[in-house]
């Protein structure tokens, strides 16, 4: 059984493995000991932070582990409110018209405009599932458990939630979009720029990034072709978010041109359709799959399991194994989502 819980410092080696396996372009998991250690420390602080009434500098990082072996299968995270201490940059794609009535010319062109439009929003991030665990309901658990957390503890998160999707790059970590920017403005390769951003050294972006809008039709054909496109490995994650109601509002990543998708918390499908149920612990036979989390925040647990739910009494029968995994007792409440 795969169970999601808050990360602990004892998970450092597993998080490092995820960072190595995630490959180039996965900005939130750079292979850097200090950064990974700091992320774990900050997550431990955030989960234990008392009396949170509104989103702030909290960053929640979780891991999914196999209850049979103890092996960490992957990680998933949420940043409560981004862009306050460290700027968060993105490009917005806008459309303008160049026209001349006298000449009968009417040209529609698109621009990339540099900005900080997602400041204050919550970000779902750092979703990575190791290849050997990409089966069954594991992917949905690692993605959707964050929405159960938001449904149960909405005061900790912003009204708008977004996700940056990894853009197109090749097996060597080369991005067609970045190659054009590198040639004209940066003079450093994509892997170095991506790494510097991951470890929080973003000053070079403000120093070197062109401040005026960029006409997309002036970019190379290769760069134009990947704007708003996702990496092949990211397509399953994008499909899951699109089913949740996330859409691209024409914001793309400044490095690889990958799309950002967003949705208001209240409109996220898993938030809207999740519900609470009172727990009865007993052996049972059920063929219905649910995503289930406890209602604790500091000791959050979530798993995908079969359960018997009775809508009339708003109660659920959990097996002893599932109840133990979720750290719930008879009479406690859980939050559920029908899968």
Which positions are catalytic?
Answer: 231
Are 336 and 274 a contacting pair, CB within 8 Å?
A: yes
| Tokens of residue 13, six digits | 């080696």
Give the Cβ contact number of residue 101 at 10 Å.
7
- Give the Cα separation of 144 and 76 in Å (integer): 10
d(CA 32, CA 3): 26
Q: CA–CA separation, 24 vs 174, rounded Å?
A: 9
Contact 220, 176 (CB under 8 A): yes
Residue 85 Cα distances to 28, 56, 57, 82, 120, angstroms: 16, 10, 8, 8, 11
* Residues facing 280 on adjacent strands: 317
**Distance (Å, whole) CA 108 – CA 191:** 34
Cα separation, 27 vs 101, whole angstroms: 47
Radius of gyration for the chain, computed over Cα atoms and rounded to the nearest angstrom: 22
- C-alpha angle 303/309/310, rounded to 5°? 160
């Amino acid at each position: 059984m795969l169970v999601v819980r808050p990360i602990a410092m004892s998970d450092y080696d597993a998080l490092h493995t995820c960072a190595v396996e995630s490959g180039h372009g996965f900005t939130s998991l750079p292979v850097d000991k200090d950064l990974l250690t700091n992320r774990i420390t900050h997550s431990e602080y955030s989960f234990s932070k008392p009396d949170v009434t509104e989103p702030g500098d909290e960053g929640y990082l979780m891991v999914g582990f196999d209850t049979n072996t103890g092996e960490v299968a992957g990680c998933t995270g949420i940043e409560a409110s981004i862009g306050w201490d460290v700027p968060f940059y993105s490009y917005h794609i806008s459309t303008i018209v160049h026209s001349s009535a006298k000449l009968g010319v009417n040209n529609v062109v698109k621009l990339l405009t540099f900005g900080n439009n997602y400041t204050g929003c919550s970000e779902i991030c750092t979703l990575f599932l190791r290849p050997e665990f990409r089966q069954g309901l594991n992917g949905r658990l690692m993605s959707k458990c964050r929405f159960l957390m938001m449904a149960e503890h909405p005061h900790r998160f912003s009204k708008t939630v977004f996700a940056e999707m990894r853009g197109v790059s090749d097996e060597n970590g080369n991005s067609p979009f970045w190659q054009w920017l590198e040639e004209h403005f940066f003079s450093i390769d994509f892997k170095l720029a991506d790494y510097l951003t991951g470890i929080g050294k973003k000053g070079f972006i403000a120093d070197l990034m062109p401040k005026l809008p960029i006409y997309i039709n002036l970019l190379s054909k290769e760069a134009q072709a990947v704007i708003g496109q996702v990496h092949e490995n990211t397509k399953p994650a994008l499909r899951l978010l699109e089913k949740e109601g996330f859409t691209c509002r024409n914001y793309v990543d400044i490095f690889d041109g990958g799309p950002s998708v967003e949705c208001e918390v209240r409109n996220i499908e898993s938030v809207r359709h999740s519900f609470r149920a009172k727990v009865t612990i007993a052996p049972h036979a059920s063929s219905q799959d649910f995503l289930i989390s406890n209602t604790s925040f500091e000791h959050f647990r979530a798993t995908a399991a079969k359960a018997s739910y009775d809508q009339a009494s708003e109660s659920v029968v959990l097996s002893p194994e599932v109840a133990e995994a979720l750290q719930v007792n008879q009479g406690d409440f859980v939050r559920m989502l029908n899968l």
